[in-house]
Amino acid sequence: MHASVMGIVISIGFADIALAQERSAPDILPDPTGGLKITFIGHGSLILTCNGKVIHVDPYGKLADYSKLPKADLILITHEHPDHLDPAAIGMLRTTNTAVVLAAGCAGRIDDGIVMKNGEVRTVKELRIETVSAYNIVHQRDGVPYHPKGRGNGYILTFGARRVYVAGDTENTPEMKALTDIDVAFLPMNLPYTMTPEMVADAARAFKPKILHPYHYGATDPKLLAGLLKDSPWIELRIREMR
């Protein structure tokens, strides 16, 4: 059975489900080069803290009072939809030293934003950032994908020896399934806009993250993944409140 710092871990024989005792309970992952703290705000919003740096992902003002949360060294925006790109929340978190990294679909929406296209690699605030295409293959409305290719990013951040992948709004794309050496992955399951549990399981079996967090999952029951990953005991499934 795996240990969870601020949650409860239940061993069910084929995947470990860590159930947070409260929405804000963080994961703390020790590392010789500095521990990584993951705070779960909800929806697609996260805070990652490591070596004194604070990284906000898709801050959304309907989920929290960002004026009371730690100021950002780095803000990552996955795409332009208003529940991911919230200028007011970004404004509460920014200082004169904050870097804001934007996907291509967000270009021109935030002053002094750093636009990274799919497949780019940069070092920002001394952190290596890789972008991964985030788009729909199947789910669409009136013949148009909810998230067209080329507009949105997933991000891989390197913290010391640990690689963390936050997928953004996407399906199980070839680019995702080709990833390697991912320690922690956040995969969305917000239907009909992103992945079904079966798509998440398919992607996870392909790129084999050590820890998998379903996130931004709306009304989908995240525990459905446990049964789907019964043939992949090397993947530790952790569930937090991320509706």
| Residue pLDDT, tens place only, 180-234 | 999 999 999 999 999 999 999 999 999 999 999 999 999 999 999 999 999 999 9
**CA–CA separation, 17 vs 11, rounded Å?**
7
**CA–CA separation, 140 vs 18, rounded Å?**
32
Q: What pLDDT does 71 receive?
A: 98
**Residues ≥6 apart with Cβ < 8 Å to 72:** 54, 55, 56, 59, 93, 94, 95, 98
CB 23 within 8 A of CB 40: yes
The more confident residue out of 121 and 20 is 121
Nearest CA to 81 out of 53, 61, 112, 106 is that of 106
pLDDT digits 0-9 by tens, 26-62? 999 987 667 899 999 999 999 999 999 999 999 999 9
| Across 89-99, average pLDDT | 98
For the chain, give every domain's residue range: 7-239
- Give pTM, 2 decimals: 0.91
Q: What pLDDT does 129 receive?
A: 98
Inform me whether the pLDDT recorded for 19 exceeds 50.
no
Which of 1.10.3720.10, 3.60.15.10, 3.30.200.20, 3.40.190.10 would CATH assign to domain 7-239?
3.60.15.10
